[in-house]
A and B are shown apart, each in its own frame.
Chain A
Amino acid sequence: MLTIQILILLFVIFALSRTFLKFREGKLSRGWLLLWLLFWISVGVVVLLPELASRLAALVGITRGSDLVVYLAVITLFYLVFRILVKIESLEQEITKVVRQAALDEDRGKE
């Protein structure tokens, strides 16, 4: 096994343990637990069986398995960032709503 495979596998084990810990602490719902488990296990599988990535890559017309992994990772990251930005915008609106309400309530209260 290559060094990188061992390192990533170690990290996957670490990530899995952290995921379980957060779930036990009540900070992760069952849905999220499942999602993250699936994700990290997939990472582990691809690392243990790199031929799998190569096979998938060939299926979609790319030469190297690692290229496919990087493409998917980048697309996923962009999508997640998009979701985060949308969420932030929504939060900004909500904060203004609350601050406005408090300000107006205070104004009405004075009468």
Chain B
Amino acid sequence: MKIIAVIPAYNEAKTIGGVVKSTLPFVNAVYVVDDASIDETGRIAREQGAIVVRHAVNRGLGAALGTGIRAALDHEAECILTLDADGQHDPTEVPAFVSMIERGLADVVIGSRLLLATGMPAARRLANHLGNLATFLCYGILVTDSQSGFRAFSREAAAGLEIRSNRMEVSSEIIGEIRRKGFRLAEVPIRAIYTDYSLGKGQSFWVGLKTAYRLLIRRIGR
């Protein structure tokens, strides 16, 4: 089965190299979508062996994911992984995702940081629960980690989901789309790797609020 990892990245020069390098052994190809980074993200990713697709202007996480998934589909991927560029995800867990898709147990697999009680800071946990609540209110599915960027899609799911979000509300929209199109969703436990870097980068309360607002608008618009 051809497995392609899609990693959307915006100014992650510090971590992208390591993420690409450690992900490559578990997949056939790594596609990094450089969302108009102003640092060396694209160059470093390419040096580590990723295929880099670059946006001319910054469009946001959702748009970058859409582009990456489109590129992966164009390259005949049969299983598409998505991972974060900041090193929060442990690529050694990729096989767990792939195995579920391969065995046909699910169309979409989402990694949940909350299935194992692994040192997630309290503030993050609260933000996550709020995100889960927002996703439930908008789309009627309650998942344990709606904002998780560690996902796997079968080819049909990747091709069938209509993602319109440009920014961070995409995570919730994906879950909504899974339900709307009748795909099977499964969760697998994942480790969340928190470093000073990724914690420092953390999305603020205001970003969360803005994302919730955008999610609401997106939902009403549907």
Interface of A is mostly: helix
In the complex with contacts A104-B53, A106-B54, A96-B74 CB distance below 8 A: no
Q: Is the CB of A95 within 8 A of B59?
A: yes
In Å, the complex CA distance between A93 and B71 comes to 18
Interface of B is mostly: mixed
Contacts of B138 in A (CB 8 A): none
Contacts of A74 in B (CB 8 A): none
Q: Is the CB of B70 within 8 A of A96?
A: no
Which of these, B55, B217, B221, contacts A103 with CB under 8 Å? B55
**Is residue B117 within 8 Å, beta carbon to beta carbon, of the partner chain?**
no
**Is residue B164 within 8 Å, beta carbon to beta carbon, of the partner chain?**
yes
In the complex with contacts A104-B67, A104-B70, A96-B51 CB distance below 8 A: no
Contacts of B57 in A (CB 8 A): 95, 99
In the complex with contacts A89-B221, A92-B166, A100-B70, A106-B53 CB distance below 8 A: yes
**Is residue A107 within 8 Å, beta carbon to beta carbon, of the partner chain?**
yes
Give A106's nearest chain B residue, CB to CB: B54
Q: Is the CB of B63 within 8 A of A96?
A: yes
In Å, the complex CA distance between A89 and B216 comes to 14
**Is residue B123 within 8 Å, beta carbon to beta carbon, of the partner chain?**
no
**Is residue B56 within 8 Å, beta carbon to beta carbon, of the partner chain?**
yes
Q: Is the CB of A100 within 8 A of B54?
A: no
Give A107's nearest chain B residue, CB to CB: B53
**Is residue A108 within 8 Å, beta carbon to beta carbon, of the partner chain?**
yes
Which of these, A92, A93, A99, A108, contacts B55 with CB under 8 Å? A99
Residue among A89, A93, A100 with most chain B CB within 10 A: A100
Q: Is the CB of A103 within 8 A of B66?
A: no
Binary per-residue interface labels of chain A (3-33) against chain B in the complex, 1 for a CB within 8 Å, 0 otherwise: 0000000000000000000000000000000
In Å, the complex CA distance between A102 and B70 comes to 13
Which residues between 80 and 107 of chain A lie within 8 Å of chain B, taking CB atoms? 89, 92-93, 95-96, 99-100, 102-104, 106-107
In Å, the complex CA distance between A92 and B217 comes to 14
7 contacts across the A-B interface (CB closer than 8 A): A99-B57, A100-B55, A100-B66, A100-B67, A104-B71, A106-B54, A107-B51
Q: Which residues of chain B have a CB within 8 Å of any CB of chain A?
A: 33, 51, 53-57, 59, 63, 66-67, 70-71, 74, 164, 166, 217, 221
